[in-house]
Each structure stands twice: as structure tokens, then as C-alpha cells.
Amino acid sequence: MLYRIFSCCTLVAALGLIVPATAAANTGHKSATKSSISKTSNHSAKAKPSAKNKSAKAKTSKPAAKTSKTAKSSNKQITNRAIANARKDVTISRTLAMSTTLDNPGVQSTGVLVLNEQSGEIMFEKNADAVTPIASITKLMTAMVTLDAQLPLNELLTISQADVDTLKNTTSRLTVGTTLTRGELLLLALMASENRAAAALARTFPSGQATFIRKMNEKAQSLGMRTSRFYDSTGLTPSNVSTPRELALMVKAAHHYPEIHDFTTSSEYSFISSQTGRNLAFHNTNPLVKAEDWTIGVSKTGFINEAGRCLVMQATIDGTPVVIVLLDSNGKYTRIGDAQRVRKWIETTSASKLRAG
């Protein structure tokens, strides 16, 4: 309990670093800046500083100058550093992990496959042929079908009531009537796992949603995913199923699409809503894409109750291109911890290095 309280405090402190830096660095958001100036003016008008206050201000002038100088640095770098530090402090999955051995990276996920993408050799597997729901990992297939159709990514599409989730009743900040380009919807579906974005991509497919779903299954069969089945473009239905071994094939195929690489590894994206006029910021659901010590080619997370927490990645580890599939992880941070364990295992275990060629 004390550890969690300490972690929360650390997170609050980290976020405290973001706010002043963001307000000073983000010159594009004029309304936020005006609001800050207005509040500062009101505060100054109400409070008459005493001699002690003036003295205190004089003493703190140097730190204020430092703050101003710091604010000129990249907002994105500050935000990413603060988030990374906060996450590092609250992650506790390592203390619960199994011991790593020469033949086992000590992962906790139920279904696992670690594949040497270069040689095709299986470096580690666990329940690799078990058929299981895959949640939003589905969106990688959604992206490939969309891109295969060579539809214009700059075409404007509008979120409709038909895109609203009535199966799981999940929420979304993409309100009905929001208009974005097909490319933006694809980005949000892959990076932020936006369900309405993925639904809109299938609904607006030239031949209709049913044709889109059929092409998803045809694509799966062409990749050798014999037991995989797709019934929607979002992954909200537990009927979308696959195995760790077959998902490795899908990740390998997705890695050949430059747009999928760019969109799945982007850390954040913001835009002005066409409905509310407010700025909306979306972030990547995989915190590892922000880490400087990871070289990630493809990333996708997923979660519904039936699937558990899932993560698939293509990454270069110790000079070796590797595909990592982690399904049905129990715990919010377990899949991230498992990915870290796999990387450490490859980097430090001699047996795994031999398998890596």
C-alpha cells in the first residue's frame, strides 16, 4: 500500500513538471496561453504583495529564469521523459515475474511467441497454437486491408452513429459528426486503438463493410493464418480469434507497410475537433514506443475481458529483428514487463543469442 502511495506521488510530481513546460512551450495553443495570462493578471490584482513577498520574489528570480529557459526546450521531449519516469516508478510486474533461465525469459503472458524474423527460428514459445480472442490486435489486419485497397488517405470521412460501439459500450472522444481524413482515422486506430476510427474505415469501404470483413479473412488465409477468423474491424467482438504463431505472421506482413510502421510507433497526435473546436490529443497505447532504448518497427496493443491484455511488436534487439507476441497478460503492466523481460533475455542469455544467429 505504501509503495502504491509513493508511486502515485511520483506520478503527480512528474505531471507537475509537464504543466508549466507545456504552457510555456506550446505557443500554438493561443487560447490556453490567454487563459494562463488572464489568471495570472487576476491573481496579481487581488493580492497586494508585502515587503516579505517582494523579497521572496527577488530570491526566486533566478529559478524563474531557469524555468523560462527550460520551457524553450521541446514540449514533446519533456512530456515523454516525465511519462517514462512516472511509468518506471509505478511498474511492479518485475517483482512478480518468474525466474529467467537459459531456455525461458520468465514471461507471465498466457500465449507467447518470440520469433527471429531474419532466420524464421522460434526463439521461445508458450501455448503458441492456442486459439484465443485477439481484441484490438485486429486493427493491424484492418490497416492492411485499407492500405491494400489503395484508397486516398487524404479523403475526408465522417464518424457516424453506426460507428458507435453497442457491443461493449466503450466510449470515444471521436463524437458523431467528427470529420477526419482516412489517414488520420488509420493513425488513431493504430496508435491510440480508437474503435470508432477502425469502424469508420470498414463502413466507408467502397464495396461496404461486409466486403471489408471478407477481405480481412481472405488476407489472413493468404498469410497462412488458417485458424484465424475476423468478424469486425475493431476487435471488440471476442469472435475475432487467432494464435500466437499466426499473429507472428500478421506482424511480419504488417512490417512491410511504411504507414503501419509510422502510425503504430508514433507517440502522440492532436487535432482541432470539427465538432467542438477543441484540441484533442491522443497517445500511443504502448509506452515502449517513447523509450529511447527500444527500436520498434510495429506495435499494437489490445484488450477486452475475453482476450486479456495483449501486445504484439516487431523490434530490433541486440541487432536481431524479432517478432514478439504476448497474449492474455494478467495485469495492466504485465505485457510491458514481459516485453522487457524478452529483450533482456535476448541481450544477456548466451543460449538465446545462439538461437538468434
- Buried b or exposed e, range 107-145, using 16+ CB within 10 angstroms: bbbbbbbbbbbeeeeebbbbbbebebbbbbbbbbbbbbb
- Cβ(283)–Cβ(192) below 8 Å: yes
The contacts of residue 237 (CB under 8 Å, 6+ apart) are 167, 231
Catalytic residue chosen out of the listed positions 93, 109, 193, 228:
193
| Catalytic status, residue 136 | yes
- Cβ(182)–Cβ(146) below 8 Å: yes
Encode pLDDT of 77-86 as tens digits: 544 554 444 4
| Catalytic status, residue 93 | no
Encode pLDDT of 231-243 as tens digits: 999 999 999 999 9
How far, CA to CA in Å, does 194 sit from each of 174, 234, 275, 295?
A: 8, 8, 17, 24
**pLDDT of res. 82:** 46
Residue 101 and residue 105: Cα distance in Å, rounded?
6
Domains of the chain: 2-90 (no CATH), 105-149+214-355 (3.40.710.10)
Encode pLDDT of 178-206 as tens digits: 999 999 999 999 999 999 999 999 999 99
Residue 92 and residue 102: Cα distance in Å, rounded?
23
Burial of 173 (0-12, 13-18, 19+ CB in 10 A): middle
Residue 109 and residue 308: Cα distance in Å, rounded?
9
- Reduced to 3 states, what is the DSSP secondary structure of residue 301? strand
Show the low-confidence residues of the chain (pLDDT under 50).
1-69, 71-72, 74-75, 78-79, 82-97, 352
Catalytic residue chosen out of the listed positions 93, 109, 126, 139:
139
Residue 281 and residue 174: Cα distance in Å, rounded?
11
**pLDDT of res. 353:** 56
57 is in an annotated binding site: no
- Cβ(318)–Cβ(337) below 8 Å: no
Catalytic residue chosen out of the listed positions 93, 109, 136, 329:
136
**pTM score above 0.85:** no
